[in-house]
Amino acid sequence: MMLSQRTQTIQPPGTSRMRTIANEMKARGIEVINFAAGELDVDTFELIKEGARGAIASGKNTYTPTLGLPALRQQVSRVVSRHTGLDYSMEEVGLTAGAKQALYNAAMVLLDPGDEVIIPSPYWVTFPTQVELAQGRPVFVDTRPSKYQLLASDVEKAIGPKTRAIIINSPNNPTGVVYDASELERIAALAIKHGLWIIFDECYASLVRAGHRHAHILTSHPELKARAILVNSFSKSHALTGWRLGYVAAPAPVIKAMANLQGHTTSNPSAVAQYAISHALDRDDGQFIATVNRALDERLERALAIIADMPDITAAPAQGAFYLFLDVSAYLGKRLGDRTIDDVDVFCELALDQAHIALVSGAAFGDPSSVRLSYAIGDNDVMEGLGRLRELLRRLN
């Protein structure tokens, strides 16, 4: 069967692949600890479930406007306004089927063939693929030499005559790093100077570890609002990844273009999810996410203690989100029995086969020396899984 050239270039996300394999093994009765999951291990915020039940009971199951209920768009505009300290109207906000659709919309309405987009590496797996689908070209900026921090000086070197946009994801997936406020200020100044778009993905903004703080790129340069696409989601902050509800804030003409595009792709996101979120937004006292963060802080502390006992393993600064990004390069080339660990993909396959732990290869994120694991999978699983990883490393020679 001959498929389009576009289709032939698309590879499945490395994150979903490992998740699928782990679930298949579990279905066969194998006890697998799934570090590949990208979601919290708690149930959906109760206020949202309450809102969903009410929406279903009252028959609110039909289409909504393409970019969401006007009342919800108004609520989200207030959330964004409080978060940024700038005034956002309903016309500058749209609801999408998860943040992934908001990012896809942005790529499709901003990019022309040949446009270049600067993407910090390691990166979330979908960023470069979406740029390529829009016939743009990803330009990667390696953050590893700066301990995974994005430096304005490196961004400036990557800017060329075809540069159209910069994608920034903070807190970062996969590294867990929160980008420095002063560097974001300098990057904002660069975007203004060169007339670039900033696509600012802050889906983990509410999940920041103790002692750290998420910085917003608009704080120091409010004038950047005219060239900023802010992307967020309720998936992580309210534990409803399966409900598929995200949002985007951008200049009104961009939002209008996204409405036209979305009208020919998915149309509106889930109506029930919209009503549920609307019910919860004005009633949320912040305790749900505060409880989640306390649990993650405690779990991270215990996890790092085990990792410290793994020779030659270093971790990216885990300042936000719920990921540990481990450099395993010291173990590449080693052997277990007659099997050589040729690369990080083989390392992950060996971990799954021998230790029954599912990791995500850093190659999926543009880093062939590391693996990502989520510590949002329950206390016992995190401790047991890291213990298995430590024992596996001891067996390699």
pLDDT 10s digit of each residue in the chain, 397 long?
688 888 877 777 766 677 777 778 778 888 899 999 888 988 888 899 999 999 999 999 999 999 999 999 999 999 999 999 999 999 999 999 999 999 999 999 999 999 999 999 999 999 999 999 999 999 999 999 999 999 999 999 999 999 999 999 999 999 999 999 999 999 999 999 999 999 999 999 999 999 999 999 999 899 999 999 999 999 988 888 999 999 999 999 999 999 999 999 999 999 999 999 999 998 988 899 999 999 999 999 999 999 999 999 999 999 999 999 999 999 999 999 999 999 999 999 999 999 999 999 999 999 999 999 999 998 999 999 999 999 999 999 9
Q: Is 334 exposed, middle or buried (0-12, 13-18, 19+ CB in 10 A)?
A: middle
**CATH number of the domain at 63-281, out of 3.40.640.10, 3.40.50.150, 3.30.2350.10, 3.40.109.10?**
3.40.640.10
- Residue 228 forms beta bridges with which residues? 198
pLDDT for residue 15: 65
Distance CA 279, CA 282 (A): 7
pLDDT for residue 28: 86
pLDDT for residue 20: 76
Can you say whether the dihedral through the CA atoms of 365, 269, 231, 322 is positive or negative? negative
Domain 5-43+287-395 has CATH 3.90.1150.10: yes
Residue ranges per domain, the chain?
5-43+287-395, 63-281
Rg of the Cα atoms in the chain: 21
Q: What is the DSSP letter of 314?
A: E
pLDDT for residue 24: 82
Answer for the pair 279, 105: CB distance below 8 angstroms, yes or no: no
Query: What is the pTM assigned to this prediction?
Result: 0.94
pLDDT for residue 392: 97
pLDDT for residue 37: 84
Distance CA 189, CA 198 (A): 11
